[in-house]
Amino acid sequence: MTGQKTQNNSTACVGLFDIITANRQRSRRLNMRLFRQLTVALLRDCLGLTTCKLGVYLVSTSRITRLNKAFLHHDGPTDVIAFDYCAKPGQTVHVALSDETGQPDIWGDVFICVDEAVRQARRFNTTWQAELVRYLVHGVLHLLGYDDQTSPTRRTMKMLEDKLLHKLAALYPLDELSRTARSKT
């Protein structure tokens, strides 16, 4: 039907984790249950976070292009955009704030363009599912204060991104993020 939006939203409260995942694109069918599991594993098991408020939105090229123009003043699409609600001016990497201020370790939204994951996967000879998880990791690292604006900080962030992606790939079958029409998850 025209005008009807496909949304697969889920909220998971695991311990002190408040996580929303939402599929707001139509180009690829996704196993959102597995995507949520990957998100929790990244935050809790790989990064050791104890509290978070996180929204992860899988979006189309047109949506990410609008966000990129409106908030970053860049033309065209991008792979991932993170909005950090804990950021302090001049702060580079977050410390765990939950004990001191009652704020979560991270608090923000990550918008991931699935179409860009497909395009970049072809370019880098990988799967779009692995590229999608890379964007999740990349966005979360930005929320933790990591920066990729200079060569040294980009190298540091990329090394950590690779390490975390490999950990997640060892724990979960990333290719199962593809959901066929018959799949029930």
State residue 103's pLDDT score: 59
Report yes or no on 79 lying in a domain. Answer: yes
Read off the pLDDT of residues 30-40 as tens digits, 9 standing for 90 and up.
Answer: 999 999 999 99
Report yes or no on 161 lying in a domain. Answer: yes
Give the residue among 181, 172, 148, 158 at the shortest CA–CA distance from 39: 172
Q: Name the residue with higher pLDDT: 51 or 64.
A: 64
The SS3 of residue 185 is: coil
- For residues 78 and 138, the answer to whether their CB atoms sit within 8 Å is no
- Residue 36: give the domain boundaries: 8-177
Total count of domains within the chain: 1
Report yes or no on 26 lying in a domain. Answer: yes
Domain CATH code at residue 74: 3.40.390.30
Confidence of residue 66 (pLDDT cuts 50, 70, 90): very high
Residue 109 has pLDDT above 50, yes or no: yes
Report yes or no on 1 lying in a domain. Answer: no
Residue 4 has pLDDT above 50, yes or no: no
State residue 181's pLDDT score: 47
Report the predicted TM-score, pTM, of the whole model to 2 decimal places.
0.84
State residue 143's pLDDT score: 94
Dihedral of CA 143/145/149/151: which sign? negative
* Residues 76, 67: Cα–Cα separation, whole Å: 10
Question: What number is the average pLDDT over the span 92-109?
Answer: 61
